[in-house]
């Protein structure tokens, strides 16, 4: 079985939202708590860091260049240097209590960003969508920590996870991409880890980073676990497919809230790993709009 390897000599605080650029053959990711978006050129090894004024919950590359980025207080368009050029909407949650978290694009190039309810006293987070005309719409609520966004190739299903509640959902989509009633896809027991960021492969299988579970797992379209890959760190945060044939799985991990002793014991916490896989992943579309 293939084993994960470190991408390069880097450890972050809370790396998330890995995003592959096929045109550039480069990997982008956010470090939420450091207010950063990173770019790593696979061929040259060049590593660039863009600084933002607030936590970068998630982002997508734009068809027109630059990014659409969900900061704590609002969703913005920015240029390729990280300069904010247009505010799309404010955070529809209370930004003092809920920052943006996981997000990405659907098969029509619309952008989705979910929030994470910091107090944890109830499911106060939500999922918002920015359409191709930059119109925002809240499409789901009753979430503690929005994660695991992915879309089936046939556009019929949206997958999400609620990490603190230990559940993956799937939601039917109509022909316009409007969501129906979400339904549980898989629940997780204590000790299995909890589902964080995710991606879908060409066979329709859902790959989930199992936070606090030391592993990445692959699930069939029916929710059955087919494979798992162990990691040398406790908390993977998200996965994405990339590489020349889309057969490399990139895995972000974190050292957030870890003691100095745990970081000494597991110094690769916060690193980015690569894993060769047999089935190619679905390509992420850029944000189309703006």
The closest alpha carbon to 182, from 220, 238, 126, 240, belongs to: 126
The closest alpha carbon to 12, from 256, 270, 272, 250, belongs to: 270
The closest alpha carbon to 254, from 217, 211, 213, belongs to: 211
* Angstrom distance (rounded) from CA 260 to CA 282: 38
Residue 196 designated active-site: yes
Residue 265's SS3 state is: helix
The closest alpha carbon to 99, from 47, 55, 59, 131, belongs to: 55
Sheet holding 47-51, edge to edge: 15-21, 26-31, 36-41, 47-51
As given in the structure block, the two tokens for residue 62 are 């734009």
* Angstrom distance (rounded) from CA 220 to CA 245: 21
- Catalytic-role residue among 31, 102, 106, 196: 196
Phi, psi of 28 (to 5 degrees): -110, 150
As given in the structure block, the two tokens for residue 12 are 């972050």
* Angstrom distance (rounded) from CA 143 to CA 118: 11
- If one counts every other C-beta atom within 10 angstroms of the C-beta of residue 101, the result is 27
Q: Which residues are catalytic?
A: 196
């Amino acid at each position: 079985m293939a084993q994960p390897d470190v991408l390069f000599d880097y450890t972050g605080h809370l790396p998330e939202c890995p995003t592959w650029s096929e045109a550039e053959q480069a990997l982008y990711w956010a470090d939420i708590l450091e207010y950063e978006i990173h770019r790593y050129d696979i061929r040259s090894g060049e590593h660039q860091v863009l600084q933002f004024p607030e936590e970068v919950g998630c982002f997508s590359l734009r068809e027109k260049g630059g990014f659409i980025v969900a900061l704590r207080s609002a969703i913005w368009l920015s240029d390729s240097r990280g300069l904010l050029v247009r505010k799309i909407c404010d955070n529809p949650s209370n930004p003092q209590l809920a920052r943006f978290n996981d997000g990405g694009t659907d098969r029509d190039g619309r952008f989705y960003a979910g929030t994470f309810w910091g107090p944890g006293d109830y499911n106060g987070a939500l999922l918002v969508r920015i359409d191709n005309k930059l119109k925002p719409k809240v499409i789901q609520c009753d979430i503690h920590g929005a994660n695991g966004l992915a879309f089936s190739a046939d556009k019929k299903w949206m997958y999400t996870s609620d990490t603190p509640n230990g559940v993956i959902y799937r939601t039917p989509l109509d022909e316009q991409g409007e969501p129906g009633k979400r339904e549980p896809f898989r629940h997780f027991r204590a000790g299995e880890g909890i589902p964080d960021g995710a991606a879908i492969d060409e066979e329709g299988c859902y790959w989930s980073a199992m936070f606090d579970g030391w592993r990445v797992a692959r699930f069939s379209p029916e929710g059955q676990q087919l494979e798992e890959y162990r990691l040398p760190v406790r908390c993977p945060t998200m996965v994405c497919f990339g590489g020349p044939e889309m057969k490399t799985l990139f895995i972000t991990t974190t050292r957030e809230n870890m003691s100095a002793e745990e970081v000494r014991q597991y110094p690769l916490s916060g690193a980015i790993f690569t894993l060769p896989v047999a089935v190619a992943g679905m390509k992420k579309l850029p944000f189309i709009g703006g």
